[in-house]
Amino acid sequence: MSQQQRIAIYPGTFDPVTNGHISLIERGLNLFDRLYVAVARSEAKDPMFTYDERIEMVRQVVALEGYEDRAEVIGFDGLLANLAMELNVTAIVRGLRAVSDFEFEFQMALMNRKLARDIETVFLMPALSWVYLSSTIVKDVAFHGGDITSLVPELVAAAIVKKTSR
């Protein structure tokens, strides 16, 4: 008798993908057999990187980390709950860094539960060394000439430097 695979989806804008995101991908893969890393279009957030650039960057990072056999990077535009049902996932992985994240994440989890009753939301914290880290902080540090090389993978740092030096 074969056991059903535990499949989760980890959505985000990933603008840019950080070491905190990588920590959550790793933690998600410790709990689930497969993980979809879903890059949201999120044009309303006025991202630094285009939708296609973000998808490609996350794909490269997932491959460099050696996760590509169990983590699949996809893009999406629309309701996460619909995508989660379409992909037949059992859980949505969301990251929590601080108490300030909880209220927004809790509201989203409740709405996703209303839209997709059988899909659980699992809150994970990144490794302690990345709890303070966000894409917004990385971009802010980069725009002001700070060193981001310890905050993001090398290929991401190079892409950010290229974007901010224009």
DSSP states along 16-66: T--HHHHHHHHHHHHH-SEEEEEEE--GGG--SS-HHHHHHHHHHHHHHTT
What is the Cα–Cα distance from 34 to 67, expressed in whole angstroms?
A: 10
Q: Domain for residue 74, yes or no? A: yes
In a domain, 41, yes or no: yes
Nearest to residue 38, comparing CAs of 5, 4, 62?
62
- Domain region containing 76: 7-164
Q: Are 157 and 149 in contact (CB under 8 A)?
A: yes
Q: Is residue 2 part of a domain?
A: no
Position 22 in a domain: yes
Q: Which residue has the higher pLDDT, 66 or 45?
A: 66
Q: What is the CATH number of the domain that holds 35?
A: 3.40.50.620
**Residue 45 bears catalytic tag:** yes
User: Which residue of the set 41, 97, 113, 163 is catalytic?
Assistant: 97
Catalytic residue among 21, 27, 54, 139: 21
Residue 5, φ and ψ in degrees, nearest 5: -70, 140
Tell me how many domains the chain contains.
Answer: 1
pLDDT at 15: 97
Query: Is residue 129 flagged as an active site residue?
Result: no
In a domain, 80, yes or no: yes
Residue 153 lies in a domain: yes
Is 163 tagged catalytic?
no
Question: 54, 94, 135, 139: which one is catalytic?
Answer: 135
- pLDDT single digits (tens) 4-49: 899 999 999 999 999 999 999 999 999 999 999 999 998 787 899 9
pLDDT value of residue 93: 98
pLDDT of 2 over the 60 cut:
no
The DSSP letter of residue 90 is S
Decide if 46 is inside a domain. yes
The predicted structure's pLDDT at residue 166: 64
Residue 46 burial by CB count (10 A; 0-12/13-18/19+): exposed, middle or buried? exposed
pLDDT tens, position by position, 115-163: 999 999 999 999 999 999 999 999 999 999 999 999 999 999 999 999 9
Whether 132 maps to a domain, the answer reads yes
144 assigned to active site: no
